[in-house]
Amino acid sequence: MRIVAECLAKSINLKTLNFTRLSHSAAMRDMGNGNFVMAYKYGALVYFGVQDDAIEAIRTEVATHSDMLSGVSDTEHAEIVAGEMPISVYNGKIRIQTPTQDQLFIIADVLSKSVVLSRYENMILEMLATIEPIADNMRRGKIPGGRKKLIKTLGDSLAIQAAMVSRIMVDEKPEQLWDMPELEKLFALMNAEYEINERQRVLEGRLRVITDTVRYNTDILDYLSSYRVEWYITLLIVVEILLTLYEMFFKHA
């Protein structure tokens, strides 16, 4: 069975989407013949055995219930090879003797998080390219301007952190594991193959670098701005004193 996962949107409104709700973050549509589609509120879709023309139709439908992304979506491709034991996951091949629906849900959960992490990885690389000149200038004792751009970068970084914590919840295990611990092996194999936890830690580290760099720069800009204001005030006081002295000694004389 062919599997295609893609990050299509920033978020999908599962309440209005005509899919069967499975949990607070996931919904499914049965496409017949054992094929189905999973939709996740954090913007990912995972297709099991769905043909390309049907995929395009689903994308069009989901778009009306989503906060869509611009540009090309991030994708993952995998294949289930049935009838083989023991369970293994390697290089996009998922080998399972007789796949159950719960096993497929586990696979979908990990693949959906993988494509969303891919989108954030690309976004963060773009932000790192933006702040690299800032860090280089700070190293040489220069403080660039562009406060508005810095604040936007900080806002983008905080938005990603909020989404990872509140919507995607990478650390949260699929609900199927609560009642069926025998699925833990498949979940662990999928997590290891797609390096979900490692990628999350790398992203969090990069986000801290971005956030700290922007904050340090804005703090310095604030300090320099207040320093200039203090000088302006001092200058005004000096001018006022000079005018007063002029009136006292020269004008009366």
Which domain CATH number covers 83? 3.30.310
- Here the tokens at position 117 are 């992490």
Q: Which amino acid is at 64?
A: T
What one-letter code names the amino acid at 187?
F
The arithmetic mean of pLDDT across residues 64-68, rounded, is 90
Measured distance CA(135)–CA(133) in Å, rounded: 5
**Which pLDDT score, from 0 to 100, does residue 54 have?**
93
Which residues have a Cβ under 8 Å from the Cβ of 161 and sit 6 or more positions away?
204, 207, 211
What average pLDDT does this structure show over 203-223?
A: 74
For residue 17, the model assigns a pLDDT of 94
Query: What is the reported pLDDT for 230?
Result: 61
pLDDT digits (tens, 9 = 90+) for 218-253: 666 555 566 555 666 777 776 666 666 666 666 555
HSE-up of residue 183 (Cα within 13 Å, Cβ side): 20
125 and 78: one domain?
no
Cα–Cα distance, 68 to 223 (Å, whole number): 40
Same domain, 43 and 158: no
Both 223 and 118 in one domain: the answer is: yes
The tens digit of pLDDT for each residue in 1-20 reads 999 999 998 899 999 999 99
Using CA atoms, how far residue 196 sits from 112, 115, 163, 169, 173, in Å, is 11, 10, 16, 11, 12
Query: pLDDT tens digits for 14-64?
Result: 999 999 999 888 999 999 998 999 999 999 999 999 999 999 999 999 999
Provide the terminal-to-terminal Cα distance of the chain, rounded to the nearest Å. Answer: 102
Residue 192 and residue 119 share a domain? yes
Task: Record the pTM.
Answer: 0.76
Which of 60, 81, 99 represents a domain boundary (last residue)? 99
Residue 136: how many other CB atoms lie within 10 Å: 11
The structural domain count of the chain equals 2
Q: Return the pLDDT at 103.
A: 92
| Whether residue 225 is found in the same domain as residue 127 | yes
**Rounded distance between C-alpha atoms, residue 29 and residue 35, angstroms:** 9
If asked whether residues 64 and 125 sit together in one domain, one would say: no
| Residue where one domain finishes, among candidates 68, 99, 130 | 99
Report pLDDT digits (tens) over 99-149.
Answer: 899 999 999 999 999 999 998 888 888 888 877 776 666 666 666 555 667
Residues 26 and 129 in one domain: no
Query: Could you say which of 99, 134, 161 is where a domain stops?
Result: 99
- Residue 63 is predicted with a pLDDT of 92
Can you give the residue range of the structural domain that contains 126?
107-251
